[in-house]
Structures are given as structure tokens and as C-alpha cells.
């Protein structure tokens, strides 16, 4: 009785996993069948006095504009990419989307920023990424400006000068007195030798 129950469970288990494999295989096939195509995205950058705008235009292989294509705009940062623009950015009927670049975003010391435009998770088009470097950022202070300044928390070599002067003066004066006393003691010794 027990053995048959076990058998039934085993059969169920195996058939279940076979089913899973089959279906997943099927979906892979289905995707391949779909003939994902490459979209073509062209970027242009419009810059005037008070605004910087990224314009992306998406076309398919027949050079027809793609409508309602979701694009993602990022600025490259150290650990991740910072999204810019609206929460969702989709192309209009001319296949165009405009995204404003924030005016106060820091770039590298020269003001360069790497702007990424990504096409992701589309049902029809392959993922792609465009990267462009623009001088649109606010220049960040160059690493040479980060030299340690004289302070109480700096390394020994960068101690505040008034502190060094005061402590040296105090040490010098007291040790001068000590040395002078030792000198007198030597003189006392000399006098004793003569007599």
C-alpha cells in the first residue's frame, strides 16, 4: 500500500518536471519564432542658454518611425546609472522623444557626463544601449583640490602651524631651563675638582 503511494508520488513528480521542461522549451522556441528585430535610434542634443535636451528618434528597419517605444535615459554614475527624464519615456507618432537634461548635475572635472539611452524589455526589438559623452555636467572639483589641508584631524605633516609654534616654544623654553640647570651642575662639579 505504502509502496504504491510512493510510486504514484514519484510518477507525478517526474511528469511534472517533464511538463515544466517542455513548456519552457516551448517558450524559448516561441521567442525565436517571433523574429525580434533591431531598432535604430538616433540621438541629437539640443543645447541653448537655459536648457539641454536629448532628442531620440527610433526607426525600424524600414526607416519607419516607431511609436510608443519605451526608452530609458540615464547618466552614468560610480555605482549605478541615474535615471533622468520622466518615469516613463515613450516615443510619439514621429518616433521621437525629448528628455530634458538637468542643469545642475555634476560631471567629471571637465564637466563631461556619459549619457546612456537604453532600449530594454521590448516585445519587438532587441535590447540596445547608446552611450554618448557630453560636456553638459557641472565640473566637479578636480582630485588635486582634495589635498589635505592643515587641521587637527590631518596627518602629522599637516598639523596647524600655530599649534606647532606654540608647542615648540613651550618645549624649547622648558628644556632650555633644564639644560641650563644641568650646565650649572657641571660647573659645580668643575669647581669641586679645582679645590
Partner 1 sequence: MSKQSEHQQEFRERREKDLLRHIIKTSLNYKLWIAFLILIILIGMYGYYRQLKYGLIVTAMRDYTSWGIYISNFVFFVAISLVGSLFSSILKLNKNEWSKPLTRISEIIAVSAIICAIVIIIVDMGRPDRFFYVIRYLRIQSPIIWDVIIISTYLVISLILLYSSLLPDLALCRDRLTAIPQWKKKLYRMLAINWRNHPNQLDMLQKVTKILAISVLPVAFAIHTVTSWLFATTWRPGWDSTNLGPYFVSGAFMAGAAAIIIAMYFIRKSLHLKAYITEAHFDKMGKLLVLLSLVYLYFNINEYLGPAFKMVGVEGEHIIELFVGKYAPMYWFVQLGGLVLPIVFLLFKGMRRSLPIFIISTFIILGAWFKRFLIVIPSLQHPYLPIQGVDESYLHYNPTWEEWAITLASFAWFLLIITILIKLFPIIPIQKHEHVSKRHPILNF
Partner 2 sequence: MEDDKIHPDSRRRFLKKLSTGSILAATGLAFNSLSSCKDKSSEKSTLLTPDGKLVQVPNSEIEAMEHLYHGAPPDEAREGIPGKKFVMVVDLSKCKNARKCIQACDKHHNLTPERPYIKVLEMKDNEKSSPYWMPKKCFQCDNPPCVKVCPVGATFKRTDGIVLIDNERCIGCRFCMAACPYSARVFNWGNPPEGKLDIPYSPETSLPSKQGTVAKCDFCPEMLRQDKLPHCVTACPNGVIYFGNELEDSVTNGEETVRLSTLLKDKAGYRYMEELGTKPRVYYLPPVDRLFPFEKENSENSTS
Binding site for partner 2 (CB under 8 A): 38, 74-83, 102, 104-106, 108-109, 116, 120, 126-131, 140-143, 146-148, 152-156
By a kind-dependent CB cut-off of 5 to 8 A, residue 148 interacts, out of partner 2, partner 1, none, with: partner 2
C-beta of 8 vs 179, nearer to partner 1: 179
90 belongs to the binding site for partner 1 (CB under 8 A)? no
DSSP of 60-108? -TTSPBPSS-BEEEEEE-SSSEEE-S-SS-B--TTSEEEEEEPTT-B-S
By a kind-dependent CB cut-off of 5 to 8 A, residue 175 interacts, out of partner 2, partner 1, none, with: partner 1
C-beta of 16 vs 180, nearer to partner 1: 180
Residue among 57, 89, 53 at smallest CA distance from 72: 89
| Binding flags for partner 1, 93-132, as an x/- string (CB under 8 A) | ----------------------------------------
**Least gap, CB of 127 to partner 2 (angstroms):** 5
| Assigned C-alpha cell, 103 | 542643469
Specify the stretch interacting with partner 1 by CB under 8 A; choose among 1-9, 15-23, 103-111, 148-156.
148-156
CA atoms within 13 A on the CB side of 75: 22
Burial track 91-119 (b if 16+ CB lie within 10 A, e otherwise): beeebebebebeeeeebeeeeebbbbbbb
Q: Binder to partner 1 among 28, 154, 169, 172 (CB under 8 A)?
A: 154
CA atoms within 13 A on the CB side of 172: 6
178 belongs to the binding site for partner 1 (CB under 8 A)? yes
181 belongs to the binding site for partner 1 (CB under 8 A)? yes
Residue among 101, 34, 92, 35 at smallest CA distance from 58: 92
164 belongs to the binding site for partner 1 (CB under 8 A)? yes
9 belongs to the binding site for partner 1 (CB under 8 A)? no
- Give the span between the Cα atoms of 67 and 76, in whole angstroms: 27
Using CA atoms of 81, 86, 89, 92 in order, give the dihedral in degrees to the nearest 10. Answer: -150
By a kind-dependent CB cut-off of 5 to 8 A, residue 181 interacts, out of partner 1, partner 2, none, with: partner 1
Amino acid at each position: 500500500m505504502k509502496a504504491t503511494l510512493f510510486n504514484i508520488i514519484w510518477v507525478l513528480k517526474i511528469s511534472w518536471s517533464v511538463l515544466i521542461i517542455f513548456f519552457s522549451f516551448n517558450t524559448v522556441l516561441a521567442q525565436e519564432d517571433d523574429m525580434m528585430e533591431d531598432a535604430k535610434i538616433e540621438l541629437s542634443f539640443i543645447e541653448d542658454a537655459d536648457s539641454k535636451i536629448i532628442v531620440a528618434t527610433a526607426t525600424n528597419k524600414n526607416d519607419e518611425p516607431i511609436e510608443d517605444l519605451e526608452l530609458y535615459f540615464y547618466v552614468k554614475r560610480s555605482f549605478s546609472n541615474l535615471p533622468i527624464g520622466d518615469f516613463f519615456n515613450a516615443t510619439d507618432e514621429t518616433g521621437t522623444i525629448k528628455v530634458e537634461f538637468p542643469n545642475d548635475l555634476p560631471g567629471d572635472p571637465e564637466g563631461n557626463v556619459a549619457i546612456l539611452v537604453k532600449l530594454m524589455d521590448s516585445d519587438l526589438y532587441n535590447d540596445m544601449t547608446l552611450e554618448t559623452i557630453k560636456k553638459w555636467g557641472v565640473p566637479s572639483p578636480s582630485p588635486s583640490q582634495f589635498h589635505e589641508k592643515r587641521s587637527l584631524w590631518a596627518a602629522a605633516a599637516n598639523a596647524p602651524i600655530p599649534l606647532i609654534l606654540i608647542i615648540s616654544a613651550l618645549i624649547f623654553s622648558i628644556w632650555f631651563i633644564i639644560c641650563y640647570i644641568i650646565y650649572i651642575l657641571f660647573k659645580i662639579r668643575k669647581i669641586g675638582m679645582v679645590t
